[in-house]
A = this chain, B = another copy of it.
Amino acid sequence: MANYVYTLAKRRQTVRRFTSRPVDGNKVITAVKTACQAPSGANAQPWRFVMVTDPTIKRSIRKACEDGERAFYATVSGEWRTWLLARGFNWSKPFLEEAPLLLLVFSQENAPYASQSVWLAIGYLLLAIEERGLGTVTYTPSSTQGALDEIDVPEDWKLEVILPIGFPTEEHTKEPRLSLDEVLYINSWEHGQDVQK
C-alpha cells in the first residue's frame, strides 16, 4: 500500500486502440470527482468536463479533429515529425470513435493559472482512470475548428484535452523513462552534487 500511487503510475500506459466493450459511466464520474479535488489557482476550479457517449457526436468530433490533423501533419517538422512517424502516427484518429466514451476537459481562460490547474487535475484523472482498469490517451487536437460545434461550449472555455476512455485491445508497450539521475538534482543543477538515489 505504501507505494500504491507509484504502482498505478508505473503500470499505466497510453492506450490508443479500444475494444467495443461498454464503459460504465459511473467509473468515469468517480474519476472526474477525483480530479475536482485537485487544488487550483485561487480555488477557481477552472475545469469543466463533457462526457460524450453519443455516436453521432463522437463521429463529428473525429471528423473535425482529423481535418485538423491533416493540416498539422502537412507542416510538422524536425524531431517531433521523426518521433511521430517512427511510431506510425498520422492524421487518422479512430480512437475518437472506437472508444465508447470521450471525456472532454476544458479550462476557463481568465482564471489564474487556469491551464496549469487543469493539467494538474488531468494528472489526478489519469490515475483514477487507471485505478478503474480503464485506458486512455491524452489527445490534444491540433485544431478544434468544428470539433465543438455540437457541444455548445461557452466562449471563454478552452478545450485542453480529449480523453477517449475504454478497454485496450492489447497490451501496449510503455515508452521508456529517463533514469532518476537524469531528472533529479540536489541543491544545484549539477550532476556532481547528486546524492545516492
Is A84 part of the binding interface, using a Cβ–Cβ cutoff of 8 Å? yes
Q: Nearest residue in B to A2 (C-beta to C-beta)?
A: B131
A176 to B196 Cα, complex, angstroms = 41
A186 to B195 Cα, complex, angstroms = 50
Is A187 part of the binding interface, using a Cβ–Cβ cutoff of 8 Å? yes
Assembly of this chain: how many copies?
A: 2
Smallest beta-carbon distance A25→chain B, Å = 8
Contact with B along A57-69 (1 / 0, CB 8 A): 1000000000000
A36 with B177: CB separation less than 8 A: yes
Interface residues of A (CB under 8 A from B): 2-6, 8-10, 12, 14, 25, 29-30, 32-39, 41-43, 45, 47-54, 57, 79-80, 83-84, 112-113, 115-117, 119-124, 126-128, 131, 137-138, 140, 150-154, 160-161, 175-178, 180, 183-190, 195, 197
Contact residues in B for A184 (Cβ distance below 8 Å): 29, 32, 48-51
A183-B120 contact given A8-B5, A128-B6, CB 8 Å threshold: no
Smallest beta-carbon distance A156→chain B, Å = 12
A180 to B30 Cα, complex, angstroms = 10
A84 to B127 Cα, complex, angstroms = 31
A8 to B123 Cα, complex, angstroms = 13
B189 with A154: CB separation less than 8 A: yes
Contact residues in B for A185 (Cβ distance below 8 Å): 48-51
A42 to B87 Cα, complex, angstroms = 10
